[in-house]
Amino acid sequence: MQPLLLHPAAKALLFALCLLPFARLFHGAWAETLGPNPAEALIRGTGDWALRGLCLALAVTPLRQWTGLVALARWRRMLGLFAFFYALLHFLAYAWLDKGLDPADILRDIAKRPFILVGSLALLLMLPLAATSVDRAIRALGARRWKQLHRAVYAVALLGLLHFFWMRSAKNNLGEVAVYAAILALLLGWRLLDAWRRHRAACSKP
């Protein structure tokens, strides 16, 4: 399995798979097959894939440790960047299709509706993470500061989940929210447990 993950074609395949939802949404908009409300379909579809991308990026490290497949670490950056890509598309679709790219109307809506406010905060937090997801940025910041900065992804995930919860609670449709909450609870809980184990191990050293 490890040689397959290290094969140059593996990253190209992952890139294509990550781009597939965008291609399907774009084709649906072009062919007018997104249903009676294509604007809502585009906004919700891009938002769903942003949250899924975050979950997948956060799952890389636990999977790498559970399976011993260290090559999985090569995929984390791409998954995180695609999560940002879909989050940005989600906001742009909302700003364009729902607000006509009117900055004043967008700002009023952000101030008025908490779920849009937390979603916007999540996107703002993702901006420096995406901007520093290159080797040059890691060297410039130093590994320690870079890791500290990228811990903001946990806040992004929680804000994204809260955004999704508030959006769905208005329609009393919380089934999917519960699924994402369980996934994120597992992934973040594993990290807390791992950090606690590392702390205990460090304290026990003579």
Note down pLDDT in tens along the chain; length 206 residues.
Answer: 778 888 889 999 999 999 999 999 999 999 999 999 999 999 999 999 999 999 999 999 999 989 888 888 889 999 999 999 999 999 999 999 999 999 999 999 999 999 999 999 999 999 999 999 988 888 898 989 999 999 999 999 999 999 999 988 877 778 899 999 999 999 999 989 888 888 787 777 66
3-state secondary structure the chain: CHHHHHCHHHHHHHHHHHHHHHHHHHHHHHHCCCCCCHHHHHHHHHHHHHHHHHHHHHHHHHHHHHHCCHHHHHHHHHHHHHHHHHHHHHHHHHHHHHCCCCHHHHHHHHHHCHHHHHHHHHHHHHHHHHHCCCHHHHHHHCHHHHHHHHCHHHHHHHHHHHHHHHHHHCCCCCHHHHHHHHHHHHHHHHHHHHHHHHHHHHHHCC
22: in domain = no
Euclidean distance between CA atoms 184 and 192, whole angstroms? 12
Find out whether 108 and 145 touch, Cβ atoms under 8 Å: no
**Which two three-digit tokens encode residue 178?**
């519960």
pTM for the whole thing? 0.94
User: Which domain range does residue 96 map to?
Assistant: 43-59+77-204
7: in domain = no
5: in domain = no
Give the total residue count for the chain. Answer: 206
For the chain, what is the domain count?
Answer: 1
9: in domain = no
64: in domain = no
34: in domain = no
